[in-house]
């Protein structure tokens, strides 16, 4: 009998052996990649736990398919089911075109308060990469998901609201801007910064990582991004005691070598991070950053290790977690059984980790690595790999499933 996941009073997730988990297949290539991804995840769980555990997948409606059937892009029922089941997998969703229609992804993140966007980035050989040593990239980006200029508070040039606000700025704050300005607001708060940085630090300790880097532009935006830096240090040092050390202490007391069980908290200016992750990627581990920086660095890092087709992602809150492919609906190849399913499958591996089923998550990652190394890959990779043989999305998913059974 399947059952609901619950969370106890101290925040521990309680996962039954047969948890109900919601899934949104998604638009475009969602229909190509989801069946294979589901098969791989089910195979991993069955093989690792000798059929003692099994996911009960609960389909929920969202996107173009939902609109056709119900007239709603994102029915309230879908959000309610996701909230009640607590964990969901999600394929890509097309953003409906038209004024006043918000991105479905943003609506899901806002409504369920999924405040941390988590993107692990590592290299799977022989995926083509523009870097000489892509194997040195092994980072996890924690991006704040609810604040910053992405909060969607902005007014068009010449609008009544922007004229009003320009007047207020001039009269009350001595800030004289051109009357034609469009305006946006960049909210950043200690509470929301701290919960994000705390999550990044917890992850670092749980996964034996060495450092958490606060990535910010506090040199220019003193109170918003500068605040992120300050609040980040505060929460890291207050919440984890002696186990969290600053860079100064690392050199004063530990000769630059991070002692076991400790994590270094440090900060870097955002533009420097972009240079560093190309020039000395081995020096970066966990990166915690505000929304806009996180958007840029996640995709840049994904490109460094071979592109969005393989990069997994998760959006996690206090009471709900959604695991999703990081790419879009790829309308150019949708329905052609050509898409690379790895992003969805590796997001599923993150979900298995979140359930506490780490051995199954590891088994999936190993099987993906073996399948990629085998050289029979989807067209996005085959075209760029000498000696590779092109296979369909379905076939490639089955190859991953076979590696899994052979390797478990």
Which is closer to ligand NAI, CB of 48 or CB of 367?
367
Site string for ligand NAI, 65-84 (x = CB under 6 A): --------------------
> 42 an active-site residue?
no
Which is closer to ligand NAI, CB of 95 or CB of 283?
95
Is 93 a binder of ligand NAI (CB under 6 A)?
yes
Is 95 a binder of ligand NAI (CB under 6 A)?
yes
Which one of 47, 66, 88, 92 is in contact with ligand NAI (CB under 6 A)?
A: 92
CA Rg value for the chain: 22
> 170 an active-site residue?
no
Token pair, residue 27, equals 């638009």
Which is closer to ligand NAI, CB of 24 or CB of 360?
24
Is 337 a binder of ligand NAI (CB under 6 A)?
no
Q: Is-contact 88 21, C-beta < 8 A?
A: yes
Is 340 a binder of ligand NAI (CB under 6 A)?
yes
Write down the least CB distance from residue 380 to ligand NAI, Å. Answer: 4
Using DSSP bridges, classify how beta strands 138-144 and 87-90 pair: parallel, antiparallel or unpaired. Answer: unpaired
Contact region for ligand NAI (CB under 6 A) — 91-99, 137-145, 187-195, 249-257? 91-99
Question: Degrees (nearest 5) of the Cα angle 290, 294, 300?
Answer: 160
Is 94 a binder of ligand NAI (CB under 6 A)?
yes
Distance CA 37, CA 382 (A): 20
Determine phi and psi for 324, rounding to 5 degrees.
-145, 150
- Name the residue among 206, 205, 165, 204 with its Cα closest to residue 182: 165
Inter-axis angle of helices 393-407 and 30-48, to 10 degrees? 10
Active-site pick, 271, 280, 336, 389: 271
Distance CA 326, CA 292 (A): 16
Is 204 a binder of ligand NAI (CB under 6 A)?
no
Is 309 a binder of ligand NAI (CB under 6 A)?
yes
Which is closer to ligand NAI, CB of 93 or CB of 404?
93
> 299 an active-site residue?
no
Q: Is-contact 105 137, C-beta < 8 A?
A: no
CB atoms under 10 Å from CB of 359, counted, come to: 15
Determine phi and psi for 133, rounding to 5 degrees.
-130, 70
136-175 positions binding ligand NAI, by CB under 6 A: none
Write down the least CB distance from residue 325 to ligand NAI, Å. Answer: 7
The H or E element spanning position 183 is strand 183-184
> 217 an active-site residue?
yes
Contact residues toward ligand NAI (CB under 6 A) are 29, 92-95, 105, 308-309, 324, 327-333, 339-340, 343, 380
As annotated, the active-site residues are 150, 217, 271, 295
């Amino acid at each position: 009998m399947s059952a609901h996941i619950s969370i106890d009073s101290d925040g521990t997730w309680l996962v039954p052996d047969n948890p109900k988990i919601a899934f949104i297949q998604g638009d475009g290539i969602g229909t190509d990649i989801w069946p294979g991804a589901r098969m791989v995840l089910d195979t991993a769980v069955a093989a690792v736990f000798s059929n003692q555990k099994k996911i009960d997948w609960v389909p929920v409606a969202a996107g173009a398919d939902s609109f056709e059937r119900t007239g709603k892009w994102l029915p309230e029922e879908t959000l309610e089911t996701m909230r009640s089941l607590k964990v969901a997998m999600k394929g890509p969703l097309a953003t409906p075109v038209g004024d006043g229609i918000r991105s479905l992804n943003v609506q899901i993140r806002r409504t369920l308060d999924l405040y941390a966007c988590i993107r692990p980035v590592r290299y799977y050989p022989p995926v083509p990469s523009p870097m000489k040593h892509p194997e040195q990239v092994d980072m996890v980006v924690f991006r704040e998901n609810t604040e910053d200029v992405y909060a969607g508070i902005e007014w068009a040039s010449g609008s009544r609201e922007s004229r009003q606000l320009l007047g207020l700025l001039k009269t009350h704050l001595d800030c004289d801007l051109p009357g034609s300005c469009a305006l946006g607001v960049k909210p950043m708060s200690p509470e929301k910064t701290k919960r994000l940085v705390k999550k990044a630090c917890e992850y670092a300790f749980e996964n034996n990582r060495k450092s958490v880097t606060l990535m910010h532009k506090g040199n220019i935006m003193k109170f918003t991004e500068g605040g992120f830096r300050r609040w980040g240090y505060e929460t890291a040092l207050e919440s984890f005691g002696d186990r969290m050390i600053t860079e100064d202490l690392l050199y004063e007391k530990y000769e630059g070598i991070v002692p076991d069980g400790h994590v270094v908290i440090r900060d870097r200016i955002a533009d420097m991070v972009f240079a560093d992750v190309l020039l000395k990627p081995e020096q970066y581990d966990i990166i915690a950053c505000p929304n806009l920086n996180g958007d840029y660095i996640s995709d840049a890092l994904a490109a460094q290790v071979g592109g969005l087709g393989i990069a997994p992602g998760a959006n996690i809150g206090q009471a709900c977690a959604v695991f999703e492919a990081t790419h879009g609906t790829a309308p150019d190849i949708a329905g052609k059984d050509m898409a690379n399913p790895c992003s969805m499958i590796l997001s599923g591996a993150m979900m298995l980790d979140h359930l506490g089923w780490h051995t199954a998550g590891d088994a999936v990652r190993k099987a993906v690595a073996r399948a990629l190394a085998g050289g029979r890959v989807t067209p996005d990779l085959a075209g760029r790999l000498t000696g590779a043989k092109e296979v369909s999305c379905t076939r490639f998913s089955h190859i991953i499933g076979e590696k899994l059974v052979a390797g478990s």
